[in-house]
Amino acid sequence: MADAKKIAAALLKRYPDARTALEFSNPLELLVAVILSAQCTDVRVNMVTKSLFAKYKRAADYADADLATFEQEIKSTGFYRNKAKAVIAAARKLVQDFGGNVPATLDELTTLPGVGRKTANVVLGNAFGRHAIAVDTHVLRVSNRLGLVHEDDPDKVEVALVAQVPKDKLTTFGSAMILHGRETCIARKPRCPECVLLKLCEYPDKTPV
């Protein structure tokens, strides 16, 4: 089994200030941004939310939004019809059940339409400072290559990583894994010779040094 503590230490030395690339100033903004980020780059989402956040300040503003108008406002993020419905439905749930506030627990967050464990953990870790790790495609791929897990189910990968990684490092570790997956441990041709985790990695198909 790979040494999670050594991997975390090396990765966080490389990315000491790792955090989500999504821009936000409060939990509601991050929640909306994460919903919009599905199958879309963070750069594009940040471009869209800049004007979006200036217009929609409260959950009630999203809840009362005109669906057709909102679809056009987020169209460039892709899958905009489903995303618009999800954001508006989540906002209505916030207004109805949580007084317009974004809840700070996993169980409550995942009652919101369009919000799964990954989205909830991004919000918990980055907006509320909780110890949480969001398993996206990068975390899934990198953790398997490293030998930290041997599992394709994101929920099971989350449980396995939580059991191995120091609790107070979970959020930054997850963000660092995403950066590492984007920059070095890329899907098709990982840049193994320049990887800070090369000696700790169990991946059998490493790119030759």
Closest CA to 28 of 62, 51, 74: 62
Q: Rounded CA gap, 207 and 187, in Å?
A: 12
Whether domain 27-127 has CATH 3.40.50.2300: the reply is no
The average confidence (pLDDT) of the chain is: 96
Whether 136 is a known active-site residue: answer yes
Residue type, 138: H
Domain ranges of the chain: 4-18+133-200, 27-127
The pLDDT of residue 208 is above 90: no
Largest CA distance in the chain: 57
Q: Rounded CA gap, 45 and 194, in Å?
A: 30
In this structure, what token pair is assigned to residue 105?
């627990």
Annotated active-site residue in 118, 168, 169, 199: 118
Whether 57 is a known active-site residue: answer no
pLDDT tens sequence across 55-75: 999 999 999 999 999 999 999
Residue 10 in contact with residue 177, Cβ under 8 Å? Answer: no
Pick the CATH number of 4-18+133-200 from 2.60.120.380, 1.10.1670.10, 3.40.640.10, 3.30.429.10: 1.10.1670.10
What is the reported pTM?
A: 0.94
pLDDT tens sequence across 145-176: 999 999 999 999 999 999 999 999 999 999 99
Q: Is the dihedral of CA 122, 123, 124, 130 positive or negative?
A: positive
Annotated active-site residue in 83, 93, 136, 169: 136
